[in-house]
Amino acid sequence: MDIETRKVQQTGGSTYIISLPKPWAQRMGVEAGSRVSVRNQPDGSLNIATLDTTTKPKKRKMEITNYKGEGLIRNIIAAYVAGYDLIELVSPRILAEQKKIIREVCHKLIGPEIIEETSKGVLIQDLLNPEEVSIKKSIRRMYLISTSMHKDAIQSLKTGEKDLALDVMLRDDEVDRLFLLISKQFRSLFRGTRLADTTETSIDEYHDFRLVASSLERIADHAHRIAGVTRKLQGPVPEEIMEPIEKASEEARNTVEKAIDALYGCDVKLANKTIENIQHIKTDVDKLNASFMKLKDVGTVVGLGTVADSIERTAEYGTNIAETAINMAIATTEESA
């Protein structure tokens, strides 16, 4: 990308002006009398954008004849994350199985809706206004859903409630939807898209929040994994084993909670304390695994080993969030110093 320089001039005694690059103005349809928005960014830069809301939507056309199952799903999601407003899927004959997958993918994403459908093509439009979605609120929602999933997954393990376990597994879709939306929003920043909180959140901070979203998505995956164990076990977990599992699970959830508090509170001290506690959790998990070996049923031993591993991984992802909290807090302090 070429960088152009402009000389700041003064007009009217108190107003500073610079000229806009002509190629950019022509490409964006800016001419004499046009109005543009000028936004202050947290890093001190200015963002200049057109106010024209009739900009031609970004469209991607994809031939899907040879794509089915996971391949088709990945292609649609990739186009969504890339920020296309319109996704046109075409084929000489779109199969019923393909249409079912397309509908399911749209249901699992935030914004896309099927607006046209024929035997040879499906047109998907993203109806979400990016300026109405705050990354901070999306992160907070991901945290609430993922930790409640973990808590309920452990409860289902304790009580043997397979319906509760299924509910946990279904909630994973909501976390995935938010994660993909955040990924899309992050990429949109580099194309100059105006987002809900860009006036108070720098690109660097968006990057850090994207990392946090990744950790929360993995925490939800491990809650899904624990719930899957519940659905496979044939009988209840012995009380003397279940009690330390609950204790370790609570410690893991507390790690994530404190990490999120440190993130939003720019609290380096709390973040460091959270990270230092991980070794204690690892020790508890080691004890859990040793206690499982006393059980006679091999399937139960393997299943509970999976649960213990997911509890430890949840705590580790919490420490990842705490590390990001430290990075963000230090960067913010440096900027304001």
What pLDDT, on a 0 to 100 scale, did the predictor assign at position 211?
95
Spatial contact of 212 and 263, defined as CB atoms under 8 Å apart: yes
What pLDDT does 253 receive? Answer: 96
- Separation CA 263–CA 221 (nearest Å): 22
Q: Which CATH number fits the domain that encloses residue 228?
A: 1.20.58.220
Please indicate, yes or no, if residue 1 is contained in any of the structural domains: no
Claim to verify: residue 12 and residue 37 sit in the same structural domain:
yes
Q: With a cut of 70, which residues of the chain have pLDDT below it? A: 1-2, 12-13, 40-44, 51-55, 130-131, 190-201, 333-337
User: b/e map of 267-297 (b: 16 or more CB within 10 Å)?
Assistant: bbebbeebbebbeebeebbeebeebbeeeee
Asked whether residue 166 is assigned to any structural domain, the reply reads yes
Considering the domain boundaries, does residue 201 fall inside one? yes
* Residue 267: per-residue pLDDT: 93
pLDDT digits (tens, 9 = 90+) for 216-226: 999 999 999 99
Domains: count for the chain? 3
What pLDDT, on the 0 to 100 scale, is given for residue 131?
66
Note whether residue 66 is domain-resident. yes
Question: Do 149 and 65 belong together in one domain?
Answer: no
CATH code, domain carrying 68: 3.30.1370
Domain finish residue from 126, 161, 182: 126
Domain C-terminal end among 126, 148, 182: 126
Do residues 179 and 307 both lie within one domain?
Answer: yes
Q: Is 2 among the domain residues?
A: no
The predicted pLDDT at position 297 comes to: 85
Q: What is the pLDDT of residue 320?
A: 97
Instruction: Supply the pLDDT for residue 318.
Output: 96
Which residues form the domain of 43? 8-50
Looking at residue 3, what is its pLDDT?
Answer: 73
Q: Are residues 12 and 76 in the same domain?
A: no
Task: Give CA–CA dist 258/262, Å, rounded.
Answer: 6
| Predicted pLDDT at 286 | 94
- Are 314 and 185 part of one and the same domain? yes
Read off φ and ψ for residue 89, nearest 5 degrees: -105, 125
Report the alpha-carbon distance of residue 325 to residue 264 in Å, rounded: 8
Task: Judge if 20 and 96 occupy the same domain.
Answer: no
Q: Does the predicted TM-score (pTM) go above 0.75?
A: yes
In a domain, 227, yes or no: yes
Kindly report the CATH number assigned to the domain that includes residue 27: 2.10.260
Residues 288 and 163 in one domain: yes
**pLDDT computed for residue 198 by the predictor:** 56
**Residue 120 pLDDT:** 92
